[in-house]
Structure 1
Amino acid sequence: MINTLFSHKRYSFMSSDIFEMIPDDVSSFIEENIIPIRLKKRQVLFYEGTIPSGVYILKKGKIKKYATGLNGKEHIFYLIRENGILGHHNLLCKEKYSHSAACLTDCLFHLIPKEIFFSIIENNQEILHSLLKNISHEFGVFINNSKILAQHSVRERTALSILRLDEFFEEKGCFNLSRKDHSNLVGTSIESLIRVLHDFKKEQIIEIEKNTIIIKDTKKIITAANFR
Protein backbone atom coordinates (compact mmCIF):
# COMPACT_ATOMS: atom_id res chain seq x y z
CA MET A 1 0.00 0.00 0.00
CA ILE A 2 2.71 2.46 1.03
CA ASN A 3 4.84 1.61 -2.02
CA THR A 4 2.04 2.70 -4.40
CA LEU A 5 1.12 5.89 -2.54
CA PHE A 6 4.47 7.22 -1.38
CA SER A 7 7.85 7.45 -3.12
CA HIS A 8 9.82 6.32 -0.11
CA LYS A 9 12.97 4.70 -1.51
CA ARG A 10 15.22 7.68 -0.93
CA TYR A 11 14.30 7.48 2.79
CA SER A 12 14.21 3.66 3.04
CA PHE A 13 16.42 1.54 5.30
CA MET A 14 16.15 -1.37 2.84
CA SER A 15 19.70 -2.03 1.64
CA SER A 16 20.55 -4.74 -0.87
CA ASP A 17 21.94 -8.13 0.19
CA ILE A 18 25.50 -8.03 -1.15
CA PHE A 19 25.90 -11.83 -0.93
CA GLU A 20 22.60 -12.67 -2.60
CA MET A 21 24.12 -13.65 -5.96
CA ILE A 22 27.53 -15.23 -5.39
CA PRO A 23 29.20 -18.39 -6.76
CA ASP A 24 28.97 -21.55 -4.65
CA ASP A 25 32.73 -21.70 -4.14
CA VAL A 26 32.79 -18.17 -2.71
CA SER A 27 29.82 -18.97 -0.47
CA SER A 28 31.62 -22.08 0.82
CA PHE A 29 34.81 -20.08 1.41
CA ILE A 30 32.87 -17.52 3.47
CA GLU A 31 31.10 -20.24 5.48
CA GLU A 32 34.46 -21.83 6.32
CA ASN A 33 35.88 -18.57 7.68
CA ILE A 34 33.01 -16.86 9.49
CA ILE A 35 32.93 -16.38 13.26
CA PRO A 36 29.38 -16.57 14.70
CA ILE A 37 28.50 -13.97 17.34
CA ARG A 38 25.29 -13.87 19.38
CA LEU A 39 24.18 -10.75 21.22
CA LYS A 40 21.13 -9.94 23.32
CA LYS A 41 18.77 -7.01 22.84
CA ARG A 42 20.44 -3.67 23.76
CA GLN A 43 23.99 -5.09 23.60
CA VAL A 44 26.48 -3.12 21.49
CA LEU A 45 28.19 -4.77 18.53
CA PHE A 46 30.86 -2.09 18.16
CA TYR A 47 31.50 1.39 19.50
CA GLU A 48 32.31 4.64 17.77
CA GLY A 49 36.07 5.27 17.83
CA THR A 50 37.16 1.62 17.93
CA ILE A 51 39.17 -0.15 15.21
CA PRO A 52 37.34 -2.47 12.75
CA SER A 53 38.46 -6.10 12.70
CA GLY A 54 36.14 -7.26 9.91
CA VAL A 55 32.62 -6.95 8.60
CA TYR A 56 29.45 -8.34 10.11
CA ILE A 57 26.56 -10.01 8.31
CA LEU A 58 23.37 -9.84 10.36
CA LYS A 59 21.78 -13.28 10.06
CA LYS A 60 19.00 -12.75 12.58
CA GLY A 61 17.59 -9.69 14.34
CA LYS A 62 17.48 -5.90 13.96
CA ILE A 63 20.26 -3.34 14.49
CA LYS A 64 20.45 0.44 14.94
CA LYS A 65 23.41 2.50 13.73
CA TYR A 66 23.90 5.69 15.71
CA ALA A 67 26.29 8.49 16.61
CA THR A 68 26.53 10.01 20.08
CA GLY A 69 26.60 13.78 20.66
CA LEU A 70 28.51 15.76 23.28
CA ASN A 71 25.49 15.56 25.59
CA GLY A 72 25.42 11.76 25.31
CA LYS A 73 22.23 11.74 23.24
CA GLU A 74 22.05 9.22 20.41
CA HIS A 75 21.22 10.11 16.83
CA ILE A 76 19.98 7.00 15.01
CA PHE A 77 20.66 7.45 11.31
CA TYR A 78 20.15 3.95 9.90
CA LEU A 79 18.56 0.59 10.73
CA ILE A 80 19.73 -2.83 9.56
CA ARG A 81 17.76 -6.08 9.39
CA GLU A 82 18.45 -9.69 8.34
CA ASN A 83 21.22 -10.17 5.72
CA GLY A 84 22.42 -6.60 6.14
CA ILE A 85 26.13 -5.80 6.35
CA LEU A 86 27.84 -3.67 9.00
CA GLY A 87 31.33 -2.32 9.54
CA HIS A 88 32.40 -2.19 5.91
CA HIS A 89 32.44 1.61 5.49
CA ASN A 90 35.24 2.29 7.95
CA LEU A 91 37.12 -0.90 7.15
CA LEU A 92 37.37 0.11 3.49
CA CYS A 93 38.70 3.59 4.28
CA LYS A 94 40.99 2.25 7.05
CA GLU A 95 39.51 4.47 9.74
CA LYS A 96 38.09 3.91 13.20
CA TYR A 97 34.35 3.38 13.46
CA SER A 98 32.52 6.67 12.87
CA HIS A 99 29.42 5.35 14.66
CA SER A 100 28.18 2.64 17.01
CA ALA A 101 25.87 -0.32 16.35
CA ALA A 102 23.55 -1.89 18.93
CA CYS A 103 20.89 -4.60 18.95
CA LEU A 104 17.19 -3.71 18.83
CA THR A 105 16.44 -7.43 19.26
CA ASP A 106 18.40 -10.58 20.04
CA CYS A 107 20.83 -10.99 17.13
CA LEU A 108 23.06 -13.49 15.38
CA PHE A 109 26.02 -12.16 13.36
CA HIS A 110 28.59 -13.76 11.10
CA LEU A 111 31.90 -11.94 11.43
CA ILE A 112 34.05 -12.06 8.30
CA PRO A 113 37.67 -11.21 9.32
CA LYS A 114 39.06 -8.29 7.36
CA GLU A 115 41.71 -10.33 5.53
CA ILE A 116 39.03 -12.72 4.27
CA PHE A 117 36.71 -9.85 3.33
CA PHE A 118 39.38 -8.06 1.29
CA SER A 119 40.32 -11.24 -0.55
CA ILE A 120 36.64 -11.80 -1.44
CA ILE A 121 35.99 -8.33 -2.88
CA GLU A 122 39.32 -8.24 -4.74
CA ASN A 123 38.41 -11.38 -6.69
CA ASN A 124 34.66 -10.96 -7.13
CA GLN A 125 33.40 -8.00 -9.14
CA GLU A 126 29.72 -8.83 -8.53
CA ILE A 127 30.14 -8.61 -4.77
CA LEU A 128 32.15 -5.40 -5.12
CA HIS A 129 29.39 -3.92 -7.32
CA SER A 130 26.71 -4.88 -4.75
CA LEU A 131 28.83 -3.40 -1.97
CA LEU A 132 29.18 -0.07 -3.80
CA LYS A 133 25.42 -0.05 -4.46
CA ASN A 134 24.80 -0.63 -0.76
CA ILE A 135 27.14 2.18 0.29
CA SER A 136 25.63 4.56 -2.27
CA HIS A 137 22.11 3.88 -1.03
CA GLU A 138 23.08 4.49 2.61
CA PHE A 139 24.82 7.73 1.62
CA GLY A 140 21.69 8.92 -0.19
CA VAL A 141 19.54 8.13 2.84
CA PHE A 142 22.02 9.98 5.08
CA ILE A 143 21.85 13.10 2.87
CA ASN A 144 18.06 13.04 2.88
CA ASN A 145 18.03 12.59 6.66
CA SER A 146 20.15 15.73 7.00
CA LYS A 147 17.69 17.65 4.84
CA ILE A 148 14.73 16.32 6.82
CA LEU A 149 16.23 17.40 10.16
CA ALA A 150 16.96 20.89 8.83
CA GLN A 151 13.75 21.63 6.92
CA HIS A 152 10.82 19.65 8.36
CA SER A 153 8.78 19.88 11.54
CA VAL A 154 8.69 17.25 14.30
CA ARG A 155 5.17 16.28 13.18
CA GLU A 156 6.33 15.71 9.59
CA ARG A 157 9.45 13.81 10.68
CA THR A 158 7.41 11.62 13.02
CA ALA A 159 4.94 10.76 10.26
CA LEU A 160 7.79 9.84 7.93
CA SER A 161 9.42 7.73 10.63
CA ILE A 162 6.19 5.73 11.02
CA LEU A 163 6.18 4.97 7.29
CA ARG A 164 9.82 3.95 7.33
CA LEU A 165 9.50 1.79 10.44
CA ASP A 166 6.39 0.08 9.11
CA GLU A 167 8.36 -0.95 6.02
CA PHE A 168 11.43 -1.94 8.04
CA PHE A 169 9.69 -4.19 10.58
CA GLU A 170 7.34 -5.78 8.02
CA GLU A 171 4.57 -6.40 10.55
CA LYS A 172 1.72 -5.39 8.21
CA GLY A 173 0.71 -2.03 9.59
CA CYS A 174 2.31 -2.07 13.04
CA PHE A 175 5.72 -2.04 14.71
CA ASN A 176 7.23 -2.04 18.18
CA LEU A 177 10.06 0.33 19.06
CA SER A 178 10.94 2.04 22.33
CA ARG A 179 10.02 5.72 22.61
CA LYS A 180 13.69 6.52 23.29
CA ASP A 181 14.88 4.88 20.07
CA HIS A 182 11.96 6.33 18.11
CA SER A 183 12.70 9.87 19.32
CA ASN A 184 16.41 9.43 18.54
CA LEU A 185 15.46 8.39 15.01
CA VAL A 186 13.12 11.37 14.56
CA GLY A 187 15.63 13.77 16.11
CA THR A 188 13.49 15.13 18.93
CA SER A 189 12.82 14.67 22.64
CA ILE A 190 10.76 11.77 23.96
CA GLU A 191 8.20 14.27 25.24
CA SER A 192 7.78 15.92 21.82
CA LEU A 193 7.45 12.54 20.14
CA ILE A 194 4.76 11.42 22.59
CA ARG A 195 2.77 14.64 21.99
CA VAL A 196 2.80 14.11 18.22
CA LEU A 197 1.86 10.44 18.53
CA HIS A 198 -1.12 11.33 20.73
CA ASP A 199 -2.16 13.97 18.19
CA PHE A 200 -2.10 11.27 15.50
CA LYS A 201 -4.15 9.02 17.76
CA LYS A 202 -6.78 11.74 18.28
CA GLU A 203 -6.92 12.24 14.52
CA GLN A 204 -7.52 8.48 14.16
CA ILE A 205 -4.36 8.05 12.09
CA ILE A 206 -2.78 5.51 14.45
CA GLU A 207 -3.52 3.39 17.51
CA ILE A 208 -1.05 3.02 20.37
CA GLU A 209 -0.61 -0.08 22.53
CA LYS A 210 2.36 0.44 24.88
CA ASN A 211 5.34 0.74 22.49
CA THR A 212 3.42 -0.69 19.54
CA ILE A 213 2.14 1.75 16.90
CA ILE A 214 -0.64 0.55 14.60
CA ILE A 215 -1.33 2.49 11.40
CA LYS A 216 -5.07 3.03 10.93
CA ASP A 217 -5.04 5.41 7.96
CA THR A 218 -2.08 5.17 5.58
CA LYS A 219 -3.21 8.06 3.36
CA LYS A 220 -3.48 10.42 6.33
CA ILE A 221 -0.01 9.52 7.64
CA ILE A 222 1.42 10.14 4.16
CA THR A 223 -0.31 13.53 4.06
CA ALA A 224 1.02 14.36 7.53
CA ALA A 225 4.56 13.51 6.38
CA ASN A 226 4.29 16.23 3.69
CA PHE A 227 7.06 14.71 1.58
CA ARG A 228 7.24 14.67 -2.22
Structure 2
Amino acid sequence: MRKQPGVLLPLVVGIVALLGFGALWLVLEPDMGSPASTLVWLLSELVFALALAVPAVCLFFVIRAMHIRRVQAREATGPDAVGVARARDLLWSLSHGLLPQTESAGSLPTDATEPVFLAGRFLAARHALPAPSLRRMRANARDLERSGRGWTALTPVEIAATDRRILLRSNDVLWDIRYSDIAEVHVEVGRVILCLQGQEPVLVEGDVAESLAVLAVWGSVGESALRRHPALASLRT
Protein backbone atom coordinates (compact mmCIF):
# COMPACT_ATOMS: atom_id res chain seq x y z
CA MET A 1 0.00 0.00 0.00
CA ARG A 2 1.35 3.40 -0.94
CA LYS A 3 2.14 5.82 1.87
CA GLN A 4 -0.33 8.65 2.17
CA PRO A 5 1.15 12.16 2.12
CA GLY A 6 0.73 14.16 5.31
CA VAL A 7 -1.66 17.10 5.50
CA LEU A 8 -1.03 18.28 9.06
CA LEU A 9 2.65 19.22 8.72
CA PRO A 10 2.38 21.66 5.78
CA LEU A 11 -0.82 23.07 7.28
CA VAL A 12 0.88 23.79 10.62
CA VAL A 13 3.99 25.20 8.92
CA GLY A 14 1.85 27.49 6.78
CA ILE A 15 -0.13 28.83 9.75
CA VAL A 16 3.01 29.37 11.84
CA ALA A 17 4.76 31.10 8.93
CA LEU A 18 1.78 33.36 8.30
CA LEU A 19 1.46 34.36 11.95
CA GLY A 20 5.21 34.60 12.61
CA PHE A 21 6.24 36.55 9.52
CA GLY A 22 3.09 38.63 9.77
CA ALA A 23 3.88 39.66 13.35
CA LEU A 24 7.49 40.40 12.44
CA TRP A 25 6.36 42.54 9.52
CA LEU A 26 4.07 44.54 11.80
CA VAL A 27 7.02 45.16 14.13
CA LEU A 28 9.32 46.35 11.34
CA GLU A 29 6.79 48.33 9.29
CA PRO A 30 6.39 51.40 11.61
CA ASP A 31 10.17 52.12 11.32
CA MET A 32 9.86 52.99 7.64
CA GLY A 33 9.41 56.70 8.45
CA SER A 34 12.87 56.89 10.01
CA PRO A 35 15.61 58.52 7.85
CA ALA A 36 18.02 55.66 8.45
CA SER A 37 15.60 52.79 7.80
CA THR A 38 16.74 51.48 4.41
CA LEU A 39 17.96 48.20 5.85
CA VAL A 40 14.86 47.89 8.00
CA TRP A 41 12.69 48.62 4.97
CA LEU A 42 14.43 45.86 2.99
CA LEU A 43 13.94 43.45 5.88
CA SER A 44 10.31 44.47 6.13
CA GLU A 45 9.73 43.78 2.41
CA LEU A 46 11.51 40.44 2.66
CA VAL A 47 9.45 39.42 5.69
CA PHE A 48 6.25 40.49 3.91
CA ALA A 49 7.16 38.40 0.86
CA LEU A 50 7.87 35.38 3.06
CA ALA A 51 4.59 35.90 4.91
CA LEU A 52 2.81 35.43 1.57
CA ALA A 53 5.05 32.90 -0.19
CA VAL A 54 5.55 30.30 2.55
CA PRO A 55 1.84 29.84 3.38
CA ALA A 56 1.06 29.70 -0.36
CA VAL A 57 3.58 26.90 -0.89
CA CYS A 58 2.26 25.07 2.17
CA LEU A 59 -1.30 25.44 0.88
CA PHE A 60 -0.23 23.86 -2.42
CA PHE A 61 1.15 20.82 -0.58
CA VAL A 62 -2.00 20.56 1.55
CA ILE A 63 -4.24 20.55 -1.55
CA ARG A 64 -1.93 18.08 -3.30
CA ALA A 65 -1.94 15.73 -0.30
CA MET A 66 -5.74 15.87 -0.04
CA HIS A 67 -6.10 15.09 -3.73
CA ILE A 68 -3.72 12.11 -3.50
CA ARG A 69 -5.60 10.80 -0.46
CA ARG A 70 -8.88 11.09 -2.35
CA VAL A 71 -7.51 9.18 -5.35
CA GLN A 72 -6.06 6.46 -3.12
CA ALA A 73 -9.37 6.15 -1.28
CA ARG A 74 -11.17 5.62 -4.59
CA GLU A 75 -8.70 2.93 -5.63
CA ALA A 76 -9.01 1.17 -2.28
CA THR A 77 -12.79 0.94 -2.30
CA GLY A 78 -13.04 -1.15 -5.46
CA PRO A 79 -14.26 -0.73 -9.03
CA ASP A 80 -17.88 0.09 -8.14
CA ALA A 81 -16.88 3.10 -6.05
CA VAL A 82 -14.40 4.18 -8.71
CA GLY A 83 -17.16 4.03 -11.31
CA VAL A 84 -19.47 6.18 -9.18
CA ALA A 85 -16.71 8.70 -8.52
CA ARG A 86 -15.88 8.93 -12.21
CA ALA A 87 -19.56 9.41 -13.05
CA ARG A 88 -19.82 12.21 -10.49
CA ASP A 89 -16.84 13.98 -12.03
CA LEU A 90 -18.39 13.59 -15.49
CA LEU A 91 -21.74 14.86 -14.21
CA TRP A 92 -20.10 17.93 -12.69
CA SER A 93 -18.19 18.69 -15.89
CA LEU A 94 -21.17 18.38 -18.21
CA SER A 95 -23.41 20.32 -15.79
CA HIS A 96 -20.99 23.24 -16.04
CA GLY A 97 -20.69 23.11 -19.81
CA LEU A 98 -17.29 21.39 -19.83
CA LEU A 99 -16.74 18.48 -22.20
CA PRO A 100 -14.70 15.53 -20.88
CA GLN A 101 -11.48 14.31 -22.41
CA THR A 102 -11.89 12.27 -25.57
CA GLU A 103 -10.95 8.62 -25.87
CA SER A 104 -10.23 6.23 -28.70
CA ALA A 105 -13.21 4.38 -30.16
CA GLY A 106 -11.06 1.36 -30.90
CA SER A 107 -12.42 -0.59 -33.85
CA LEU A 108 -15.95 0.84 -33.68
CA PRO A 109 -16.99 2.81 -36.80
CA THR A 110 -17.40 6.34 -35.45
CA ASP A 111 -17.53 9.45 -37.59
CA ALA A 112 -14.33 11.47 -37.73
CA THR A 113 -16.22 14.58 -36.57
CA GLU A 114 -17.79 13.07 -33.43
CA PRO A 115 -15.68 12.97 -30.26
CA VAL A 116 -15.71 9.80 -28.17
CA PHE A 117 -16.22 10.49 -24.44
CA LEU A 118 -16.41 6.91 -23.15
CA ALA A 119 -15.08 3.68 -24.59
CA GLY A 120 -14.38 0.22 -23.29
CA ARG A 121 -15.61 -3.33 -22.92
CA PHE A 122 -18.81 -4.03 -21.00
CA LEU A 123 -21.49 -6.68 -20.64
CA ALA A 124 -24.84 -6.05 -22.31
CA ALA A 125 -28.24 -7.65 -22.79
CA ARG A 126 -31.44 -6.78 -24.63
CA HIS A 127 -35.00 -7.29 -23.53
CA ALA A 128 -37.36 -9.44 -25.56
CA LEU A 129 -40.20 -6.88 -25.52
CA PRO A 130 -40.14 -3.32 -26.90
CA ALA A 131 -42.07 -1.88 -23.94
CA PRO A 132 -41.97 -4.18 -20.90
CA SER A 133 -43.23 -3.27 -17.44
CA LEU A 134 -40.60 -1.06 -15.85
CA ARG A 135 -40.99 -2.57 -12.39
CA ARG A 136 -40.68 -6.15 -13.63
CA MET A 137 -37.89 -5.28 -16.03
CA ARG A 138 -35.77 -3.72 -13.27
CA ALA A 139 -36.53 -6.55 -10.84
CA ASN A 140 -35.46 -9.16 -13.38
CA ALA A 141 -32.35 -7.18 -14.23
CA ARG A 142 -31.18 -7.23 -10.60
CA ASP A 143 -31.17 -11.04 -10.67
CA LEU A 144 -30.33 -11.43 -14.33
CA GLU A 145 -27.96 -14.37 -13.99
CA ARG A 146 -30.56 -16.52 -12.22
CA SER A 147 -33.86 -15.32 -13.64
CA GLY A 148 -33.03 -14.07 -17.12
CA ARG A 149 -36.74 -13.61 -17.71
CA GLY A 150 -37.25 -11.26 -20.61
CA TRP A 151 -33.54 -10.50 -20.97
CA THR A 152 -31.04 -12.17 -23.23
CA ALA A 153 -27.86 -13.52 -21.66
CA LEU A 154 -25.18 -10.99 -20.79
CA THR A 155 -22.59 -10.93 -23.55
CA PRO A 156 -19.31 -9.02 -23.84
CA VAL A 157 -19.65 -5.89 -25.97
CA GLU A 158 -17.42 -3.08 -27.12
CA ILE A 159 -18.91 0.37 -26.47
CA ALA A 160 -18.15 3.88 -27.63
CA ALA A 161 -20.27 6.82 -26.44
CA THR A 162 -19.93 9.98 -28.51
CA ASP A 163 -21.66 13.35 -28.51
CA ARG A 164 -24.39 11.94 -30.78
CA ARG A 165 -24.91 8.26 -30.03
CA ILE A 166 -23.87 5.08 -28.24
CA LEU A 167 -22.34 2.31 -30.33
CA LEU A 168 -22.31 -1.28 -29.07
CA ARG A 169 -20.83 -4.23 -30.90
CA SER A 170 -21.13 -7.86 -29.91
CA ASN A 171 -19.35 -10.20 -32.29
CA ASP A 172 -20.61 -9.06 -35.72
CA VAL A 173 -23.76 -7.30 -34.44
CA LEU A 174 -23.59 -3.48 -34.22
CA TRP A 175 -26.15 -1.52 -32.22
CA ASP A 176 -26.38 2.15 -33.08
CA ILE A 177 -28.34 3.95 -30.33
CA ARG A 178 -29.00 7.59 -31.08
CA TYR A 179 -29.52 9.81 -28.06
CA SER A 180 -32.77 11.01 -29.62
CA ASP A 181 -34.07 7.41 -29.44
CA ILE A 182 -33.52 7.13 -25.67
CA ALA A 183 -36.84 7.54 -23.83
CA GLU A 184 -35.79 6.67 -20.27
CA VAL A 185 -32.59 6.02 -18.31
CA HIS A 186 -32.44 3.94 -15.15
CA VAL A 187 -29.17 3.51 -13.28
CA GLU A 188 -27.89 1.40 -10.41
CA VAL A 189 -24.39 0.75 -9.15
CA GLY A 190 -22.53 -0.86 -12.02
CA ARG A 191 -25.60 -1.12 -14.26
CA VAL A 192 -27.71 1.08 -16.54
CA ILE A 193 -30.92 0.35 -18.44
CA LEU A 194 -31.69 2.37 -21.57
CA CYS A 195 -35.33 2.34 -22.65
CA LEU A 196 -35.59 3.10 -26.36
CA GLN A 197 -38.44 4.41 -28.47
CA GLY A 198 -39.95 1.55 -30.47
CA GLN A 199 -37.04 -0.77 -29.66
CA GLU A 200 -36.13 -3.31 -27.01
CA PRO A 201 -34.48 -1.88 -23.88
CA VAL A 202 -30.75 -2.35 -23.50
CA LEU A 203 -28.98 -3.24 -20.26
CA VAL A 204 -25.29 -2.42 -19.88
CA GLU A 205 -23.20 -3.67 -16.98
CA GLY A 206 -19.67 -2.54 -16.13
CA ASP A 207 -17.52 -0.51 -13.77
CA VAL A 208 -18.30 2.79 -15.53
CA ALA A 209 -21.95 2.12 -16.42
CA GLU A 210 -22.91 5.18 -14.35
CA SER A 211 -20.85 7.37 -16.67
CA LEU A 212 -22.74 5.91 -19.61
CA ALA A 213 -25.99 6.87 -17.86
CA VAL A 214 -24.76 10.44 -17.43
CA LEU A 215 -23.94 10.70 -21.13
CA ALA A 216 -27.30 9.15 -22.05
CA VAL A 217 -29.20 11.76 -20.00
CA TRP A 218 -27.01 14.58 -21.32
CA GLY A 219 -27.45 13.53 -24.93
CA SER A 220 -31.15 12.65 -24.83
CA VAL A 221 -32.60 15.35 -22.56
CA GLY A 222 -29.96 18.07 -22.46
CA GLU A 223 -27.49 19.71 -20.12
CA SER A 224 -30.17 21.33 -17.93
CA ALA A 225 -31.64 17.91 -17.06
CA LEU A 226 -28.41 16.77 -15.40
CA ARG A 227 -29.26 18.81 -12.30
CA ARG A 228 -32.75 17.36 -11.86
CA HIS A 229 -33.02 13.98 -13.63
CA PRO A 230 -34.16 11.34 -11.08
CA ALA A 231 -31.88 8.65 -12.50
CA LEU A 232 -28.82 10.69 -11.47
CA ALA A 233 -30.03 11.61 -7.98
CA SER A 234 -27.53 9.29 -6.28
CA LEU A 235 -24.66 10.87 -8.21
CA ARG A 236 -25.58 14.41 -7.16
CA THR A 237 -25.23 13.68 -3.42
TM over 0.5: no
TM-score (norm: length of structure 2): 0.29
Q: Which has the higher contact order (CA 8 A, sep 6+)?
A: 1
Of the two, which has the highest radius of gyration? 2
